[in-house]
Structure 1
């Protein structure tokens, strides 16, 4: 691009010498008289200058091709790096960030905002940088030839810069608002599509049509506002350049008549004025892309500026083994300041023990177990793993010691064995089958149409709830972690499927420290200890028999559960 700038700077000069030395027979500058034919040999000089013009044109074309090619490739690689780094950064942000952000808006940033930057590289990258480099050289040359005329030509620059700055700021604000509204729109779309079965079940399609149209209209209004600014900007720049060109031609002609400059030098000045106008006109044409890209860059910067609340100590420990001993010491936690979900929770789980967490909905059970793999950190208190505070240990180590089986078994698009192998980096088909056999679900998987090669649809739509849960259990089995967390793993399953899942869970938890959340108390009567939570407090702790004998909160939950079973039967 720097070489192209030099070529653009030299391009008008052969024409200047054609007019001054070939047509008007003026002598050549002293420095060129030894390289070019004498003006007395006008045809020879014309041929030489014509060849020079052709050579400069060829050089301009070649440099444009290679410069633009390199610039675009470099720019696209940079955009790829941004997209890759943004995805990696988002994955490592704490769950509190993902709770605040709508998934549709996140997708808009990964997709639409990155695409806007790509459009900027394609539109603004080509030739614009070369023209900007050339402007510096043009200004220097014009000042050397005739500083008065140079000042007249350059007088338009401050006005153009003022217009560009004013409209660029307004365009950036307008397109930032448009991108925000578009992100909100995609967030609404994602919410509706994800719950389309509920929409159809309740016949609310027309209602959602109205909600979508209302949000889309807000996005449209913001986009039209930005477009109106862009439409104003382009002709205004054209008008200023027309006035500047007219003034330059008039003043330049008076300088020629006065003998201060030659007609060829006037031509060079006008060519330079046109060259200075090119990036301005190009910017005016792509002002919308520039405004969008600026707003997109700001939105991406907002995500990159987010720091994960879960931080690893610089000297984090990586123990050689893990027994799975857990201890909560006066742990308190809340998602929002002043709104504590857990308060002064203390208990101890020995290696290999099974501890059940029971309580009403909202008591803090799921929040409590989410602290073990450090999805969140306690606001006060400590969680100890084999005598070490979790915050002293390497994050990867902590999470590698925990296997999760959730109420909603999450699976990915792909084969059954690939979903099982997801539990351990580097695991293959054989390891996945071995894990399924260990979990006792081998026959269930083999009974699927293609066995372990059965393809799973998005979010496991092609599998039943029990089948998804069995895959989740086999995945946890393959992880072979000393700590297992079960968050209502049998909720919503029929009696036959529940027996299969319960047997798989029994195999999974043998010899492992297990924390299980259950609403159906009958499934946890054999636990080594049961913790009863109420509004974030541990109000009771003991075995099933001990808690029934105390006639407290657990006794009430047990009796209400038996009453519900009797009523349903």
Structure 2
């Protein structure tokens, strides 16, 4: 993974280095091809000069080719065979060299994509909250595709063309440097045009890619919220939003395409004028006897050969600029460092006992808006602790500190006496199982979703975990049992079924600490009973931290902690807190009213709450 301050196209060398043997072989093949391309016009020169005009062959050729005076047809046949051989050799070297370059380049880009994905997974949740998922996906797809296109373009002849161009200029200067300077007169102008347009094109393409990324983020957002869009009849509003962003993307793309389309004709025009001037001057040189007709043919062939690379460079300008922009955008991602990472010498103790302690913990997503204030909390091994409070009180935020999804701003969170920041992240998270309000299932079979809870788990392990959670009969009642396919986000299963699969996954993990984030709040009464029974099996003998909206589900907790405004305002058992007739009692009364249960009057001063009860 790149560690440079700035990721650019040059940074790709890190990924190309492991393929240096293939690249060296490709470079050798392309160099040979460049030499072949330089030789291709010369048989024509000798056909014109020696076969047609009977000029003598150079001394070094006279010994192995027929005499142009005595054996003109034989010399013509020999030169024709040489032309065919050079053409076949050019074809073979092009095929082999291009394949070696393409395979090495595409594998390098594949490894870059793999590193980018791994880096994204390890970036802190704060980063992903700031970025739309669609925009991040555009880096993995669109920007990587731009680099793949760049590799394909370079591997399809740009390298060989560049070598050939250098060789042609060298030979022309050797034959007649005055003529060569005239042929090359348009070079500085073309280089200036290429640099000017490439800079403008790069800016335009950067704007276009940014607009495309924003559009991808908007599409992902709308598709994710489609049930709300349809339920509230907001189709027209979202059509307008999409149209506005798509229009901005279109304008940026048109600007970039227009620049690219203007560039190629300018290069072609410069080449055409240079060809006309070179032909005129070359003909005069032949008439004055300074060069032969065959040498003029070589010059014109080289000039035509130089035009092909220049046209190729003009066509490739957009691809290269897109690759540069893509590298910059990927650099933005690689520049982001994970906020949560291992310290040097991170500890990996034996299996945790499940003792959790929060010492003077404060936390804020943004510096000016603290969420938690000076939290002090001890959770003994095997103890069940429930977090309750109004919406926004900080319950879920506190729970995320335990698996170290965030680090506290001040204070410490300890597991078995070890500061979480001193523990190896993989070890820490192996000690914790999660069951969330919205079960997160992946595409695959039911058993594969259960097996996701432990690396290397088999189908039999998944079935055993389901039996341990007491839900195997429910899974066997599905159309294909444990092999029933699960769609995206658990499509095809009911809410209760998805939650049961999530519990079996946590059971398979066999972790000493279990975090339950409102696991039954979205279920009906029947599903809640089934899930609650499975949760009781899961949490037995394990340290459990549970967040609950329905207070009836946590009445048997060992300790109930009441949060208000990010502070612990009460703690104790259910009966004790009701007797105190404070914050918890008020929450219990509101919850009872919501469930339609009989409410026992509370004789105490009601607390003032500024948010809806959880």
TM-score tier (shorter): over 0.9
Alignment of 1:325-404 (within 5 A): 325-404=355-434
Is the aligned partner of 1:43 residue 2:59? no
1:331–1:378: 8 Å Cα contact kept in structure 2? Answer: yes
**Most deviating of 490-499 and 298-307:** 298-307
What is the distance in 1 between the residues matched to 2:570 and 2:495? 33
Q: CA deviation at 1:504?
A: 0.9
What is the distance in 2 between the residues matched to 1:344 and 1:143? 80
Give ranges in structure 1 of 5+ residues lacking alignment: none
Q: CA deviation at 1:567?
A: 7.9
What is the distance in 2 between the residues matched to 1:145 and 1:340? 78
**Most deviating of 155-164 and 245-254:** 245-254
**Most deviating of 264-273 and 431-440:** 264-273
Q: CA deviation at 1:338?
A: 2.2
Cα distance per residue 1:234-292 (max 9 Å; x no partner): 11111111111122222323333343332222222222222222121012234333333
TM-score, with length taken from structure 2: 0.89
Counterpart for residue 442 of structure 2: 412
Cα distance per residue 1:193-219 (max 9 Å; x no partner): 222222221222222222222221111
Counterpart for residue 321 of structure 1: 351
2:592–2:598: 8 Å Cα contact kept in structure 1? Answer: no
Counterpart for residue 305 of structure 2: 275
Counterpart for residue 337 of structure 2: 307
Q: Structure 2 vs 1, CA of residues 303 and 17 (structure 1 numbering), >3 Å: closer, same or farther?
A: same
Is the aligned partner of 1:518 residue 2:548? yes
What is the distance in 2 between the residues matched to 1:106 and 1:98? 9
Cα distance per residue 1:284-333 (max 9 Å; x no partner): 23433333333223222322332211111121111122111111122222
Which of 570, 575, 578 in structure 2 is aligned with 1:548?
578
Alignment of 1:85-100 (within 5 A): 85-100=115-130
Alignment of 1:415-430 (within 5 A): 415-430=445-460
Alignment of 1:14-53 (within 5 A): 14-41=43-70, 42-53=72-83
Counterpart for residue 209 of structure 2: 179
What is the distance in 2 between the residues matched to 1:568 and 1:268? 103
TM-score, with length taken from structure 1: 0.95
1:124–1:283: 8 Å Cα contact kept in structure 2? Answer: no
What is the distance in 2 between the residues matched to 1:265 and 1:335? 75
Q: CA deviation at 1:67?
A: 1.9
What is the distance in 2 between the residues matched to 1:451 and 1:307? 43
3-state SS of the aligned residue for 1:341?
A: strand
Q: CA deviation at 1:9?
A: 1.1
Which of 8, 18, 21 in structure 1 is aligned with 2:37?
8
Q: Structure 2 vs 1, CA of residues 568 and 47 (structure 1 numbering), >3 Å: closer, same or farther?
A: farther
What is the distance in 1 between the residues matched to 2:360 and 2:308? 69
**Most deviating of 189-198 and 224-233:** 189-198
1:94–1:375: 8 Å Cα contact kept in structure 2? Answer: yes
3-state SS of the aligned residue for 1:531?
A: strand
1:332–1:381: 8 Å Cα contact kept in structure 2? Answer: yes
3-state SS of the aligned residue for 1:265?
A: helix
What is the distance in 2 between the residues matched to 1:339 and 1:266? 78
2:351–2:431: 8 Å Cα contact kept in structure 1? Answer: no
What is the distance in 1 between the residues matched to 2:422 and 2:35? 59
Cα distance per residue 1:12-31 (max 9 Å; x no partner): 11112222222333333333
Which of 512, 527, 532 in structure 2 is aligned with 1:502?
532
What is the distance in 2 between the residues matched to 1:7 and 1:568? 95
Q: CA deviation at 1:568?
A: 10
Counterpart for residue 27 of structure 2: none
Alignment of 1:74-473 (within 5 A): 74-473=104-503
Q: CA deviation at 1:376?
A: 1.5
What is the distance in 1 between the residues matched to 2:135 and 2:451? 31
Q: CA deviation at 1:82?
A: 2.6
What is the distance in 2 between the residues matched to 1:209 and 1:567? 45
Q: Structure 2 vs 1, CA of residues 224 and 568 (structure 1 numbering), >3 Å: closer, same or farther?
A: farther
